Chains A and B, each alone.
Chain A
Amino acid sequence: MTNEEILGGLAEIVNEVAGVDTSEVTREKSFVDDLDIDSLSMVEIAVQVEDRFGVKVPDDELANLRTVGDAVDYVVKTA
């Protein structure tokens, strides 16, 4: 799976969980500061990322995923 495909999938998940427009979900955006996603929505995103990409995103790793790019890189690294 390419980085673009992962980003596209992640954008769909963020859209479904938090109602953020998929075009807003770009690599440099911070989940909390730019996309206004709270800690519980981050958990919902993590659960859907796990289902969709077949990776594990434990809570302590989740805390390190500050930007959309961090999350894409994490999926690439652990998939």
Chain B
Amino acid sequence: MTVRLRQLPPAAGARIRGLGSTQPTRVVTNDDIAATGVQTTDSWIRERVGIVARRFAGPDESLVDMAVDAGSKAVADAGLSPADLDAVLVATCTMPSPIPNAAAQVAHRIGVTAAPAFDLNAACAGFCYGLGSAADMIRAGSARHVLVIGAEKLTDWVDPTDRSTYIIFADGAGAAVVGVAAEGEEAGVGPVVAGSAGDLVDTLVIADRESFIVQEGQAVFRWATTKIAPIALRAVELAGLTPGDIDVLVPHQANLRIVEAIAKRIRAAGGRPDLVVADDIVRSGNTSSASIPLALDHMRAEGRVRSGDVALLVGFGAGLSYAGQVVVLP
């Protein structure tokens, strides 16, 4: 006999309801980095990667601590309480150990009881993967509100004597609450364009638990500056928009030169001259999966973006992995 399994009623779409972020207290300038004895200077770092300062977490600022703080702020920003959350998803690639995952700890500490809570590792693309997964869970009827967090403590995995990585990577967390679109309300999270380039797997790795992050800078730079803009443009197309409809471009904050190269291609494809381009790397460094929600939250606090703005997000990193989508800002 053929059984028919009942399905949950689907929802028409999802929207971002709230944002939150956190950074460690310790600000590390380029001069601070140079003072450690690493062969570099403030001007060298600014020219190569565009970073002026970043934050390093101390021993009492764990990845989970940062995720809890950013997540709690996003829930409050959405005007919700923890009891409203149906799932907690943490995108991260720098947990100090594989188990337990971050998400169950975060859910417990925020006060969400028995919610599905899982981690997702797509490195610097993780937040966009998480946002896509959350929107799909909501559309499928499995959840009404999902907390998506990108949280990283990259300094645990960076060699402080390696100038090619020590100057770039930093710590922080950013979060978004994704909720079901109400009756008569338009969807605010577009289809995700996600994928991977496994042929470049060796270009960005942490080899084992005793190792640090190693990156083939030129290979990753070439990939990021040529392959990511077309993916972002595909996300615009799938959302039924054109590049001229985009108010804000938020690429993963890998390197200011990569951000600018992507922005140049988006503008060349019809992006508006007044397109706002995230440059949060300047003061936050590269925080991997946290960089996109961190940038969004900072830009909102600075008044550079407003509620209702149409933002194009695109994450990319180790894997190599990528994901992007268009969202309407809360």
Contacts and interface: CB of A to CB of B under 8 A. Distances in A.
Q: Do A and B bind each other?
A: yes
B198 interface: no
Interface stretch (B95-103, B108-116, B218-226, B303-311): B218-226
12 contacts: A38-B47, A39-B217, A39-B218, A40-B221, A40-B255, A40-B257, A42-B218, A43-B221, A44-B261, A46-B222, A47-B225, A62-B218
Contacts, number: 26
Interface in A52-78: 59, 62
Interface in B197-229: 216-219, 221-222, 225-226
A67 B192 CA distance: 43
B48 interface: yes
A43 B255 CA distance: 14
Interface of B: 47-48, 216-219, 221-222, 225-226, 255, 257, 261
B53 to A, nearest CB: 21
Given A38-B48, A40-B257, A47 B218 contact: no
Interface of B is mostly: helix
A42 B225 CA distance: 13
Contacts of B221: 40, 43
- Which 5 A-B pairs have CB atoms at the shortest separation, nearest pair first? A43-B222, A59-B218, A43-B218, A43-B221, A40-B221
B222 to A, nearest CB: 5
A40 B217 contact: yes
B132 to A, nearest CB: 29
A42 B222 CA distance: 10
Contact of A59 (B219, B225, B226, B261): B219
Nearest to B222: A43
B219 A44 contact: no
Nearest to B226: A47
